[in-house]
Every structure is written in structure tokens, then in C-alpha cells.
Amino acid sequence: MKASGQQRQYLVLENYIGGKFVHCENHIDSYDPSTGEVYCRVPDSGQEEVDAAVAAAKEAFPEWSACSPQQRAQVLNKLADLIEAHLEEFAQAESRDQGKTVAFARTVDIPRSAHNFRFFASSVLHHTTDCSQMDHMGCLNYTIRCPVGVAGLISPWNLPLYLLTWKIAPAIATGNTVVAKPSEMTSVTAWMMCKLMQQAGIPPGVVNIVFGTGPKAGDALVGHPNVPLISFTGSTATAQRITERSAPYCKKLSLELGGKNPAIIFADADLDQCIETTIRSSFSNQGEICLCTSRIYVERSIYSEFLERFVAATRKWKTGAPSDPSSNNGALISKEHLEKVRSFVALAKSEGGIIHCGEGVDQLDLPQQNNSGYFMPATVISGVSDSSRVMQEEIFGPVTCVSPFDTEEEAVSKGNGVRYGLACTVWSRDVGKIHRMARRLHTGLVWTNCWLVRDLNLPFGGMKHSGVGREGGKDSYHFFTEVKTVAIKH
């Protein structure tokens, strides 16, 4: 779409290949979710651009992989310094591009992006390998780990720089070079980071970023014969396509996918702490976090009290202009996504569910310039069957459903009763019960009496349709390297 008669100036992004910004002939419109207006043009890259990026990454690999971990760590720490020095610019850009509040971007997205580089800069220095003696045969065996080559990294739109750096940092720390594709809907902060690469000391070709859609740029990347490794965060449906495209090349895959995460609240829970935390776990970042709570199961003896207090607390969770410091939530990512999330609320209502607050119940009070934005109030639903699509499918918006349960056995059954298995929260003062539940729930992460407490050393990932593989300190080190066993006869 070209600028209209009023000659609006758009921000025009370029691919970053071989240490240079490279013009692309075709572009995609990118919208400001808080106003519904186009403000940015993103390259619509395809096979040609991906081929150039892979060639640059392949050329840079021998020299970068030969650097010591200490040399690579120094570069990662410098890039973290530069992101922190420009934190406010990144936060403002992330908010405008994604719709989230500036406060969330300022306190969560951008600090964590810098921390990702710092964490892996340190982590890569402290791994050990294995050694085994076979004295009776006069042999010594040991393992070494080598970078894989060109890593293909595809990141989503909900936590754009946060999740992109979660992939780039371990990939380059371990000596790989990178071709990354951010979401075409949230590309600006990745482009801004490219401007810092040279100053950070990252050699040309070590990090290449190609912008564009999944069906064009993403497909070209995952199907490229010279990209032996793919790390992807996104939908289960896209992951299935990636698996099919990668199969002929036997690529290493790490797939972090969707969630339909339960909170299981027992009668002995600290309700004050539980309600405060479950509001955050349900609605933070507009509910657009794969770890958000979308099913809440409450022991029947406290169900009515919990529901009443939870709805009252939800009504205080303000949805408003992202720049407003008092806003808890901003806008959803797109008009299409807003319509999808609203359709689930309509489905729940048509099936006899009760909409206690939020969509269709509470009116939003938005500034005039945000009236065409993609806003939706935090919504609480009850009375929905466990078999409903509302309870089975990932909504990825500010919507959560509350249901009662009677026994621990029933709580386990309900918690496990979906195809996803990413995360869950359990609320109880009974330590034995917490340990039993943690063992029996089929999720990659179990939080008890808290949410989103993360030690980056430990594995992150899901079970069932929520993913393949794990990432985190040692797990990322293993994924982004190949292990080799060496036997020495003496």
C-alpha cells in the first residue's frame, strides 16, 4: 500500500545480511495495534534474500566458530550493554509495534532481551564435557562439543525481541552463525538491534536477519539445505509444516509451541496471593504469552468465593492506551487476532457459558486516537464444558475460564485433559499434595504458589503438542552443538 494523498511517512525496514542493510523490492504493511493504522513497511523476503543470508552466514562460520568462548562472550556482553543503553527507545518501539504497554516493554521485554545475552555469555564458559577411562584396554575416551553451522531461528510476535534474543544468544555463544526471521508483524526492534551489531563487535555474517512472512521467508529458511538446525517458537500447525519441510534434511529441531495452561487451586490456598498472581498469569501482555493461564480449576468449597473475588479483581485490570502508565494491558496484535479471540467468547456464550466481565459486558474508555485500535478488556467465563473448543484450544488473548472440581484425582484429569502440555500452576499449602500434583501433571513446567519464576539454567519447553526439545542453559548448549566422542589408544 503506497502512501495516501496526505503523504504519510512510513518507517521502512531493510534486511540485515553480511553486516549490511540490504534493500528489498517488496514490502508488507505493518500496523500500530493501538491505532489500527499502517506505520511501517517490512521487507517481504523470499528465497533470494534467504539464500544471500545463508551464504553470508556460511562464509562467516569458520572464523566465528574458531573464536574462543571467552571472545564470543565479550561480544555478547557488549551487545547487552548497547541494548541497555538504548532501553527506552527499544521499549517505546516494542510497544508501538506489538500493542503491549510501554511499562511492560520497559520492565520485562527489553531488560530480559539484554539479560539473554549476558546469561549465555556467562553460561557458555562453564559447561564441562565427559571423560571415561578404559585402563584394561589402554584407552581414554572423552567428548567434545562443536557448533552445528548455520542456525535458522524463527521467533513470534508476542515477545518480539525477548524471544528472538533467547535464540540468537545461545546460537552465537556456542559458535554458530545465524539467519533469523522475526514475525512480520513485529520486526522493528530486531531491525534496531541490527544497528548495534557492528558496534558490539559482531563480525559480518555472524547474525543475519531476514524479514518476511512464514510461507515465503520462513519456508525458504526451514527448507534450505545449508541450514542444519531450526529453532522455532510459534503455533503447533506451523511446527508441523516445519517438521515436514525439515525431514528430508534430517535437521535438528527445537519447537516451542502453544499452551492451554491450567491453574489448579485447592481449598487451602492463600487466596489473596493466589488471586493477585492468577490475574497476572491470565492477563499479562493481553494474555498473549504462551505461558498464560487460560483454564482455572477451583476446589468446589471455595469456588464461589474465588469466582466473586477474581471477577472483582479482573475488573480493576485496566485495558487502555499503551503509553498510559496506569494501563495494565494494551492492544492485541491485529484486527484478525482480536476477531478470533472475540469469537471464542461468543462461542462460550452460545454454549451457555456466563461472561462475568470483559468482552460484551464492560465498556472500554479509550482516548480518541485509540478508538480504532485492537483493544479487548480482560474477560472471565464460567459454565463452559471441558469438551468445548473454548476449553480445548489456545485462545491467546485476555480470556480465562473458571470451573469447579471436587477431588485431587479430578483436578489431575481436568488439568491433563487437553492436547497441550506447556505449563501449569498449583496452589496449595500442602507440600505433599504439591509434589504429587507436580509429578502427575503432563506439563514441561509446574509452578506452585507462583507464576513465571524462571531460572534460565533449567529446561524450558513443553510436552505433547506444546513442543519438541528443551532450551535453557545446558539444554541450549546441547541443542546448538554436536557432541563427538574421541577414543585415544595409548
Residue 4 has pLDDT above 80, yes or no: no
Q: Looking at residue 97, what is its pLDDT?
A: 98
pLDDT score of 351: 98
pLDDT digits (tens, 9 = 90+) for 311-335: 999 999 999 999 999 999 999 999 9
Give a yes or no: residue 86 inside a domain: yes
- Residue 256 annotated among the catalytic residues of the structure: yes
> In a 10 Å sphere around its CB, with 0-12 CB exposed, 13-18 middle and 19+ buried, how is residue 410 labelled?
middle
Taking 50 as the threshold, does the pLDDT of residue 241 lie above it?
yes
Q: How far apart are CA 376 and CA 402, in angstroms?
A: 19
| Number of domains present in the structure of the chain | 2
Cβ atoms of 177 and 206 closer than 8 Å: yes
CA distances from 141 to 144, 329, 488 (A): 10, 55, 6
Please give the share of the chain, as a percent, with pLDDT higher than 90: 98
Q: Is the pLDDT of residue 214 over 50?
A: yes
pLDDT in tens, 26-82: 999 999 999 999 999 999 999 999 999 999 999 999 999 999 999 999 999 999 999
Residue 8's pLDDT band (cuts 50, 70, 90): confident
Q: Per-residue pLDDT for 6 more than 70? A: no
Catalytic residue among 256, 288, 359, 394: 256
Please say if the pLDDT value at position 425 is more than 70. yes
Q: Is 83 within a domain?
A: yes
Same domain, 161 and 304: no
Task: Select from 425, 145, 149 the least CA-distant residue to 275.
Answer: 425
Query: Whole-number mean pLDDT of the chain?
Result: 97
| Per-residue CA distances from 394 to 281, 340, 409, 446 (Å) | 15, 11, 24, 18
Instruction: Please give the helix or strand (H or E) that residue 412 lies within, else none.
Output: helix 408-415
Q: In terms of domains, do 315 and 251 share one? A: no
Q: Is residue 132 part of a domain?
A: yes
Burial class (CB within 10 angstroms; exposed 0-12, middle 13-18, buried 19+) of 5: exposed
User: In 100-230, which ranges are continuous DSSP H helix?
Assistant: 102-104, 110-123, 160-173, 188-200, 219-222
pLDDT value of residue 76: 98
**CA–CA separation, 202 and 215 (whole Å):** 29
In a shared domain, residues 379 and 437: yes
Query: CB–CB of 424/445 below 8 Å?
Result: yes
- 384-419 pLDDT, tens digit each: 999 999 999 999 999 999 999 999 999 999 999 999
Q: Are residues 305 and 198 in the same domain?
A: no
Instruction: Look at residue 433 and tell me if it is in a domain.
Output: yes
Q: Whole domain around residue 337: which residue ranges?
A: 261-448
Q: Please provide the DSSP assignment of 239-302 as one string.
A: HHHHHHHHGGGT-EEEEE----EEEEE-TTS-HHHHHHHHHHHHHGGGG-STT-EEEEEEEHHH
- For residues 243-261, average pLDDT: 97
1 pLDDT above the threshold of 90: no
How would residue 5 be classed by pLDDT, with cut points 50, 70 and 90?
A: very low
CATH code: domain of residue 33: 3.40.605.10
188 shares its domain with 275: no
Same domain for 431 and 482, yes or no, is no
C-alpha–C-alpha distance, residues 428 and 484, integer Å? 45
